[in-house]
Amino acid sequence: MKKKAILGVTPEILVGIIVAVMFIIGLVFIAAPKLIKLLPGQQSSNECSNIAEWNNIKSVLEKFDSSELSSSESPFYNKECNLVSFTLSQGLGKIKPAFNINSESQLCLCNIEDDLCRQSSCYILKNFNAINSQQFETSDFKDYLILKFVKDGKTLLINPIGDKKEPEPILYSYSEQFKIFDESNIVNSLTLEFKSTEVNSFIPLVESKQPEQFNPVGVTIVPGFTSYFSIKIIKPVEDLPLSSVKSNPEFIDNNAVAFAHVVLNIPSEKLALINDEPAIYYLTDDWHSSQLSCVKDTEKNSLCSADIDGFSNDFILSVKPGAT
C-alpha cells in the first residue's frame, strides 16, 4: 500500500522537516545562555573563580548605599580577578574599562589583561559620587587582602591592607618596528626590573653620541673600539603609532629601575680590535662598569651582555678598567 502525502508533503519529507526543527531547537538551547550574557545590563561572560568573594563585597556596598554602614572591614581573595573602581570625574586611571562607563561611580570585579578591565560584574553606587580620590584597584596586591571601607560624605573610601606583588622583569627585544628608536641597532635586548609594578612595558630610545658629549673620568679609551651612546626609557601608549610615541615621549625615571640586563650587538671585526675583555660603563653619581660576556651570533656579529645595578642614560662601550 502506498503512503499518502499529507497536504502535498510525503512522509519522508515530513520526517526530514521534524529532524531539522529539532536540530534548530537544540542549537537555540546551546547558544541562548551565551547570547543572553552579551545583552546590555547582563553579567559578563568573563566569569571569575573568586565571584563568591565579590558577592560578599557587593553586599557590603549595598549596606553602605542604604546607610546601614558607615565603616566596615571585609576579606577579599584577590587571586584571579581584581577589584577596580571607575569614577568618570576622576578621568581614566591605570586600568581602562573595556566597556562604557557613565557618570555614576562603580566598583567592578575585573579580569585584567594589558591594563584593560573585562568586567565579570559591577556594582553602581547610588548614594556616593566617588570611590577614593583616584582609581582604586587591587592588581598590584597578592592574593589575600583586608578591605577597609569608610564613608566620607559623598565619597566611599576603600583602603586595601595586604602585601604587594614583587615586580617581575620586563623584556624588550629589538625588531624592525623599533628601528626608529634605535637606528644603529645597538641594543639587541634589554631586561628591566622596576621597583614597583606600575610599569608593565617600555621602549628604549637609543642614540649614538660623540665623545665630547661625555666626560669619561676613569674610563679606559680604546681608539676605534670605544663608542658612546645614550638609552632613555619611554612608556608606550596603547593605540598610538610608534612614530607619535617617539615625537611626544613620556620618559620613565631611571630611579624607577632596580636592575637591568642589557645585550648589545657588537660587530665581530670591532671585537677583533681589542685584546682585553669588553665592558660597558654607565653614569650614575660616577662612572661604573660591568664586564661584557660575548657569544658569536653570526659571522659578522656578536651578542655581548652585562648586568647593571640600577640604570643610566649615558653609556660607553670600551674595555674593562685597568686594561691597556
Q: Are 178 and 311 part of one and the same domain?
A: yes
Q: Which of 126, 161, 196 is the last residue of a domain?
A: 161
pLDDT higher at 26 or 179: 179
Q: Into how many domains does the chain fold?
A: 2
Instruction: Tell me how far CA of residue 74 lies from CA of 64, 134, 176, in angstroms.
Output: 13, 21, 50
pLDDT band for position 6 (50/70/90)? very low
3-state secondary structure 217-272: CCCCCCCCCCEEEEEEEECCCCCCCHHHHHHCCCECCHHHEEEEEEEEEEEHHHHC
Q: Are 175 and 300 part of one and the same domain?
A: yes
pLDDT band for position 69 (50/70/90)? very high
**Residue 296, domain member (yes or no):** yes
**Residue 10, domain member (yes or no):** no
The 10s digit of each residue's pLDDT in 80-112 is 899 999 999 999 898 999 999 989 999 999 999
Q: Are 279 and 217 part of one and the same domain?
A: yes
pLDDT band for position 5 (50/70/90)? very low
Q: Are 176 and 312 part of one and the same domain?
A: yes
pLDDT band for position 206 (50/70/90)? very high
Q: Are 117 and 91 part of one and the same domain?
A: yes
Q: Are 97 and 116 part of one and the same domain?
A: yes
Q: Which of 131, 161, 191 is the last residue of a domain?
A: 161
Q: Which range marks the domain in which residue 90 is found?
A: 51-161
Mean pLDDT of 234-256: 93
Dihedral sign of CA atoms 111, 116, 122, 127 in order: positive
Model pLDDT, residue 17: 58
The model's pTM: 0.68
Q: Are 71 and 210 part of one and the same domain?
A: no
Residue 256: all three cell numbers together: 624607577
**Residue 43, domain member (yes or no):** no
